[in-house]
Structure 1
Amino acid sequence: MNDFKIQQIKAALKDLLKQKKMTYENVAEELECSVPTVKRILGDEELTLSRLLQFCEILDVNLTDLETMTKMTTEKAEKFTEAQEQFLAKNKGFLSYFIKLYENTPEQIAEKYKLNQRSTDKYLMGLEKHGLIKVNAKQKVKPAFKSIPPMGAGMLAKSYYENFIKSGADFFIQNISEGLYSAADLKKRGIRKGWSMNSVRVTEATYNAFIKEQEAAFEAFAKLGSYEEKTQPQEKLKTALVLQAFTIEENDYKGFEILERSLGDITNI
């Protein structure tokens, strides 16, 4: 999951805890951990899939319900100002840095990305200038919002999602190319890698039913992963990455022309 999505999920989990009148002490007892650990999980600590599924079990919700809650929480969340949206849309590095601050300190970000002090100062000054972060009396840096605001539907959303989708595509282009070039070795090891895209004409009802089936299948897959994380030796576990994208459009949707060029353009020669 990306950082933006994780923060929205955490916000939804907190809302559910309030609705069910559950305290961090109750959660700690269920998870068999300390209250500070619960606070870290819902704060700046990584939210693993196994932990997420544990929360779902405690709160008696499934991943599909949580997704709906996440969307509702996002709609109620604080919003960027127009000036903040424009700044972040034009400066993708600052957007990435801002999101990372929800789970990392400036020092941790600098160490991970090998930033010098000058660059760190520039990021922080730029974000502070636009009211995106706060610096308290102890010189600790915190985002100005409790959770990452929704990206909206304007320039910032376009910039963010284009970059997100492009990164996923770039990853698979490289990964699948590596797999195809070593197809014999992969077949010998029994490993499947691939990419597929299918176009089917169906009613909206059939399409929606299919998407629900896919979501249910992925939820079952995630639960199996959570089980194996607990029961299998770490050296046997690998990271499975699934990139999902789906849509249904009118038959004359102009965007389909892009897909016609997937094998290359046919032009006058």
Structure 2
Amino acid sequence: LILIGLGSVAVSGGLKFGIDFAGGTLIQLQFKNPPDIEVIRDGLKTIGLGESTIQEFGSKKDILIRVQRSEEKLEAVGSMVRKSLMGKFNIDEITVERVEMVGPKVGRDLREKALLSILYAIIGIVIYISWRFELQYAIAAIIALIHDVLVTMGAFSIFDKEFTLVIVAAFLTIIGYSLNDTIVVFDRIRENLRRKGKSSIADMINTSINQTLSRTLLTSGTTLLVVIALFFFGGEIIHDFSFALLVGIFIGTYSSIFIASVFLVYWDSRNTAHR
């Protein structure tokens, strides 16, 4: 899965950054009646704003337009968009609610801060798990979390979705959720290892996974039901956010059981071989 995702990123020339990271202009319009998106798209072609993304925002009367171009005169952009739609709609039916611009430098700064936020989260996780458990548990958890993030990132590349600050928030949510699942499994493993008797560590880890499996599946299943509802009925604005959670929670449940725990078995067998 990771290789497929990374292959997609390589073929497409990198992630598709949204206005938050790449810079650009955001325009919110309000119509008296629900407009036809394709009619708006045709109207915008006449003013040369470049590639644009048009979506409903909240109600069907509110439209959000994102263009990959930064404009210094924000009022002029709003006026240009409004005039470009004059031939398609009655000018009195259109209200420019807001116009926001993110310059390339600001976008670059936001991109760096987003990466740092994920890095700081990972460092905090390593410190916490090393303190609560042992170093090998921290390494196992980080490997599982990196797996979750890379697979979700790959899914965004495959489905050509924009990478924005909202998606960074989704990634941090995925990291927290997956880590919680992993810690539950680790806690049971630690308890069972204290009274393992003649059983091997691999057997005790397998037993621990079986003991926590129903809890893991029920928790993830109920969470996924909510996320699926958000994905289908939450509207266009949170569609990508819920998509990231949908992929991340599913993959996170898998990695807690089949990656983090398996790494502990590998670590033990490696240490045994060097004794």
TM-score w.r.t. length of structure 1: 0.25
Say which structure is richer in helix: 2
Bigger Rg over Cα: 2
Of Structure 1 and Structure 2, the greater strand share is in 2
More contact order relative to length (CA 8 Å, sep ≥ 6):
2
